[in-house]
């Protein structure tokens, strides 16, 4: 019995709206435009966060073709291109964004990020140098540190990394990068400290755990660090330690670590098993 009443109310509302359309049509159109704009913004946000990267590229490509002067859509296209693994194309779009009305220093930082991803280090340096020094953000200093690393300017890199760490509440990623920088320049002890600190912020990050094992192994410390790890991760970390030991001439220790990796892994560990077989075959030939 409720349905006829509901339909009557709905029809009555429709008629009332129709009666007002003559005088208030412009207001109604504006209201609908506002709703559509909000919906489009929400869709853009979804595309940039949870949407498939390639679908996001297609969406923002269509949107920028329809509204080429909207800087928010151009930003969305550039970000989605980075997510989809097309940094070269993203660089082109970010360059356009930096010339549009409403462009900010953050847009230049994003351009530098895309340039680094595209392996254009000199371009990234030029872009960062054009940003006012008063623009002090975590992302800017992280990229400055990476550029300094690429030039082996270790003093400047350390200064930028330290500044970046102080500008975020989630420094795990930049601490890992800083640790890897220390490791590549031969400071294994300093790298070990930074990797350990990174894991206090992001204890599940396997890349950092693996880097920590490499830093310890470079000091001939082949036992695994006391960090959270699954059985599968333990096997992989033992494998990393084993390879490091073998490369440094500690073949007997490496063989033992490989055997531990094979025994520890919950599933067949093909790489470790083949490395162990190769070592045993070499020993028999010797």
Running along the chain, 286 residues long, what does each successive block of 10 average in pLDDT? 38 40 52 46 71 90 95 96 97 98 98 98 98 97 97 97 97 97 97 98 97 98 96 98 96 96 96 92 68
Residue 184 and residue 221: Cα distance in Å, rounded?
A: 17
pLDDT in the model for residue 41: 56
Element of type H or E holding 223: none
Structure tokens at 85: 């693994």
pLDDT in the model for residue 98: 98
The fold adopted by the segment(s) 136-219 is: 1.25.40
pLDDT in the model for residue 88: 98
The residues of the chain that CATH labels 1.25.40.10 are 42-115, 136-219
Residue 148 and residue 254: Cα distance in Å, rounded?
A: 35
Per the listing, tokens 């949870």 go with 50
Instruction: Tell me the CATH class for 42-115.
Output: mainly alpha
pLDDT in the model for residue 283: 65
Residue 153 and residue 155: Cα distance in Å, rounded?
A: 6
Crossing angle, helix 87-97 and helix 105-117, to 10 degrees?
160
Residues 183 and 216: beta-carbon distance below 8 Å: no
Residue 79 and residue 48: Cα distance in Å, rounded?
A: 7
Please report which residue ranges of the chain form alpha helices under DSSP H. Answer: 2-49, 53-66, 71-83, 87-97, 105-117, 121-129, 138-150, 154-165, 172-184, 188-201, 206-217, 231-247, 251-264, 270-285
Residues 111 and 95: beta-carbon distance below 8 Å: yes
pLDDT in the model for residue 26: 61
SS3 5: helix
pLDDT in the model for residue 50: 64
């Amino acid at each position: 019995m409720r349905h006829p009443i509901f339909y009557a109310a709905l029809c009555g509302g429709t008629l009332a709206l129709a009666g007002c359309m003559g005088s208030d049509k412009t207001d109604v159109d504006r209201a609908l435009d506002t709703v559509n704009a909000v919906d489009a913004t929400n869709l853009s946000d979804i595309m940039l966060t949870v949407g498939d990267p390639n679908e996001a590229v297609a969406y923002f490509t269509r949107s920028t073709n329809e509204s080429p002067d909207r800087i928010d859509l151009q930003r969305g296209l550039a970000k989605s291109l980075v997510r989809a693994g097309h940094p070269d194309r993203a660089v082109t779009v970010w360059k356009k964004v930096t010339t549009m009305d409403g462009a900010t220093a953050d847009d230049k930082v994003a351009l530098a990020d895309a340039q680094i991803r595209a392996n254009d280090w000199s371009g990234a340096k030029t872009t960062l140098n054009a940003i006012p020094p008063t623009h002090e953000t975590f992302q800017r200093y992280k990229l400055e540190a990476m550029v300094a690393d690429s030039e082996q300017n270790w003093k400047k890199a350390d200064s930028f990394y330290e500044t970046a760490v102080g500008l975020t509440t989630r420094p795990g990623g930049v601490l890992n990068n800083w640790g890897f920088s220390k490791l590549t320049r031969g400071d294994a002890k300093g790298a070990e400290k930074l990797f350990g600190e990174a894991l206090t912020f992001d204890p599940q990050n396997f890349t950092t755990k693996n880097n920590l094992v490499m830093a310890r192994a470079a000091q001939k410390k082949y036992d695994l660090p006391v960090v959270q790890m699954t059985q599968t991760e333990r096997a992989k970390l033992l494998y990393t330690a084993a390879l490091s030991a073998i490369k440094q001439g500690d073949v007997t220790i490496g063989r033992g670590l490989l055997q531990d990796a094979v025994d520890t892994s919950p599933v067949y560990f093909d790489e470790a098993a083949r490395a162990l077989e190769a070592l045993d075959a070499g020993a028999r030939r010797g």
